[in-house]
Copies of this chain bind each other. A is one copy, B any other.
Amino acid sequence: MADRIITIGRQCGSGGHTIGRLLAQRLGLAFYDKEIVELTAAKTKFSPEFIQSHGEYFHSGALGHIIGYGTRFDGSYKTGSSLTDQLHQAQSEVILEVAAQGPCVIVGRCADNVLEGKYPTMNVFIYSDMSYKVERSVQEHGLDPDKAASILTRRDKARAHHYRFYTERKWGDMRNYDICLDSGRLGLERCVDLLADAYRRW
């Protein structure tokens, strides 16, 4: 079997977390999603709530823009100074630490970019159309059916902004990933089957 780390990017509501969890079970690999939050909290001064809300999302609200010294607004932003930069740095170190322990599945958090050139990876992106994502979010997470689409869209925008900022790549652009699957069309179980096949064959 391949000695690779599987990274999973995903649209909100697409089932990427569930696919990752089932895939890790199937392949007998460690699984990291929210676990990254806990590990980052354990080694920093950041609270789990702050890590959860800022570790993958850029917010348009005032609280999201926690800017420190050295920040420029002319497009040549100098990272390394704001709280969110420090969080990204710490979170990336956690990702490298878990990767050093062997093959695993890591969901989100720019892991594809953090590991690039350091570990062999299989980079996956999971997406689907809005109707599927709304249906899942209402059923699985109890979102208000009338608000679900706008909530999911807003969260994905914040993820895209965060990913672009720290990787200088476009989130959800297939060129960043090895395999992209439409979970709504294929179904979650079939996605797990295909990704397990792909991993074993690699």
Number of A residues near B (Cβ < 8 Å) is 21
Q: Considering only CB atoms, which chain B residue lies closest to A190 in the complex?
A: B201
Residues of B within 8 A of A182 (CB): 174-175, 177-179
Residues of B within 8 A of A179 (CB): 179-182, 186, 194
Residues of B within 8 A of A125 (CB): 174
Residues of B within 8 A of A186 (CB): 178-179, 198, 202
CB < 8 Å neighbour of A194 from B172, B174, B198 = B198
Residues of B within 8 A of A129 (CB): 175
How far, in whole Å, are A202 and B182 apart by their CA atoms in the complex? 13
Flag A174-202 by CB within 8 Å of B: 1 or 0 each: 11011111100110001001100110011
The reply on A127 being an interface residue by CB < 8 A is: yes
Residues of B within 8 A of A172 (CB): 174
Residues of B within 8 A of A190 (CB): 198, 201-202
User: How far is the CB of A123 from the nearest CB of chain B, in Å?
Assistant: 8
Whether B201 pairs with A194 at a CB distance below 8 angstroms is yes
User: How far is the CB of A127 from the nearest CB of chain B, in Å?
Assistant: 6
Other contacts beyond A127-B174, A177-B180, A193-B201: 18, CB < 8 A:
A127-B175, A129-B175, A172-B174, A174-B180, A175-B182, A178-B181, A178-B186, A179-B179, A179-B182, A179-B186, A180-B180, A186-B202, A190-B201, A190-B202, A194-B194, A194-B198, A194-B201, A197-B197
A-B contact pairs, 10 of them (CB 8 A): A127-B175, A174-B174, A174-B182, A177-B180, A178-B181, A178-B182, A178-B185, A179-B179, A179-B186, A194-B201
